[in-house]
Amino acid sequence: MSATNVKRILLVDDNPLFLKILVHAFTKSGFECASCFSAAEGIEYLNLNTPDAILSDYEMPGMNGIEFRKHLIKDPILKDIPFVFLSYITNSDLMSEGLDLQAVDYVIKETPVNVIVSKITNLIDTFQKQRELSVQEIKRAAIALNIRTVPKVAPVVNGFDIDFWHQAYQDVPGGDFIDFIEVDDRYSFIVLGDVMGKKWVAWFFTFSFLSYIRAAIRFGILNRDFSTAGILQKVNSVICYDNALKDILSTMSLLMIDNQEQTVTYSGAGDLPMLHYKAKSGELEQVGTDGLLLGLFQDGGYTELTIELQPDDELFIFTDGLIDYEDKGEKKSDYNLFKAKLDSMLKDKLSFQQIKQNLIQNLSPDLVDDCSIINIHKQ
């Protein structure tokens, strides 16, 4: 379903007059219509667009409706768009051939146009409801299993205030994950990552990532290895060896707080550079490390930086959803623009609570990705 909740339909028919009648009826009912005179034109349209339903004539010159459906069924995304055949033919064999191809329904062309529109509307609503039910069921299962990719509360670390904000794409838990690991009285770790790819699939993979990270941190500590770069390399090696994760890539920012020395050590894997607000000078500085996405190559080339924070200094780590914005209907990404906005809020002495409020208020209604940001404030 499109983000604006306007239903979008692709109408395919070689009869220009009938197509015009359909477009008129669907538009009148609030649909956004795309019309094509042939299956080939329809395929071209579907290369760039994903409508909520497809209504296609059965008999067309060139590729007929059955061949059109056979073509779409090969595509992992297009095959799931509700597809309805439209025809004068009432041959039951042809109908069953169409339905064997997982077409959702069959409409006889003599059916009044308003009935066709109602049928498609109900069909899209049913699909949407089924999706919502599936989402609810997975959410319930996740709660029952007590698995979370974002913690409920931030940790309490002596000498620091730690807080975060996370907004899932369309409230569906996605690829962003956050973890806080308190190892002992001295060391705490902060993890922020984004599994790149399909939202629900990404969500499941984050559990594997989190398990590997937790294990790598625990093993590191047992061996008295307090290198964030070393931990990232260990996680990366395991991921590169794991066949189940071979096509999955993830960013990660890893921070280790040493509250005895009052320092923060930072390593990144293909993450957006961290921002360091220096209270004394009022400057907001970009802090980047080397290091490639987890799962890309066996040697990720990770490096680390140890930062000594002064009183009221702040660190911000965030995922790419935060640097997206919309300008005249076009989506764009601009790290420097986000940095400038944050800089301005910090210059206005806004607390992280107020910054969170500001980010929520300015969230694009067409948000296309998860948004996550973690703030570390040195007391």
Q: Which residues bind another protein (CB under 8 A)?
A: 47-48, 50, 75-77, 175, 194, 196-199, 247, 249, 251, 270-273, 288, 290-293, 296-297, 301, 319-320, 323-324, 330-336, 368-369
Q: Which residues contact 126 (CB under 8 A, 6 or more apart)?
A: none
* Nearer residue to another protein within complex by CB, 139 or 332: 332
The H-assigned helical ranges of the chain are 16-28, 39-48, 65-73, 92-100, 113-144, 199-222, 228-241, 335-347, 352-361
Write down the least CB distance from residue 267 to another protein, Å.
12
Write down the least CB distance from residue 262 to another protein, Å.
29
Write down the least CB distance from residue 194 to another protein, Å.
6
Write down the least CB distance from residue 128 to another protein, Å.
16
Chain-centroid distance of CA 325 in Å reads 15
* Nearer residue to another protein within complex by CB, 65 or 193: 193
* Nearer residue to another protein within complex by CB, 220 or 321: 321
* Nearer residue to another protein within complex by CB, 83 or 187: 83
Write down the least CB distance from residue 324 to another protein, Å.
8
* Nearer residue to another protein within complex by CB, 185 or 330: 330
* Nearer residue to another protein within complex by CB, 50 or 263: 50
- For the chain, the straight-line distance linking the first and the last C-alpha, in angstroms and rounded, comes to 46
Which residue in the block uniquely carries the two structure tokens 């009148």?
A: 28
Write down the least CB distance from residue 289 to another protein, Å.
9
* Nearer residue to another protein within complex by CB, 60 or 292: 292
Write down the least CB distance from residue 247 to another protein, Å.
5
Distance between CA atoms of 16 and 18, rounded to whole angstroms?
Answer: 6
Write down the least CB distance from residue 369 to another protein, Å.
5
**Beta carbons within 10 angstroms of residue 216's beta carbon:** 21
Distance between CA atoms of 225 and 174, rounded to whole angstroms?
Answer: 32
Q: Are 82 and 127 in contact (CB under 8 A)?
A: yes
Write down the least CB distance from residue 57 to another protein, Å.
24
Distance between CA atoms of 12 and 43, rounded to whole angstroms?
Answer: 10
* Nearer residue to another protein within complex by CB, 74 or 152: 74
Starting at the earlier edge strand, list the strands of the sheet with 105-108.
Answer: 32-36, 8-12, 53-57, 83-87, 105-108
Q: Helix or strand or coil: residue 97?
A: helix
- Which 8-state DSSP code applies to residue 182? E
Q: Helix or strand or coil: residue 5?
A: coil
- Partnered with residue 54 across adjacent β-strands are 10, 83
Write down the least CB distance from residue 332 to another protein, Å.
6
Half-sphere exposure of 160 (CA within 13 A, CB side): 30
* Nearer residue to another protein within complex by CB, 122 or 336: 336
In single-letter form, the type of residue at position 371 comes to C
* Nearer residue to another protein within complex by CB, 43 or 181: 43
Nearest to 252 by CA among 338, 335, 189: 189
Half-sphere exposure of 296 (CA within 13 A, CB side): 16
Distance between CA atoms of 339 and 317, rounded to whole angstroms?
Answer: 11
Pairing label, strands 83-87, 105-108: parallel
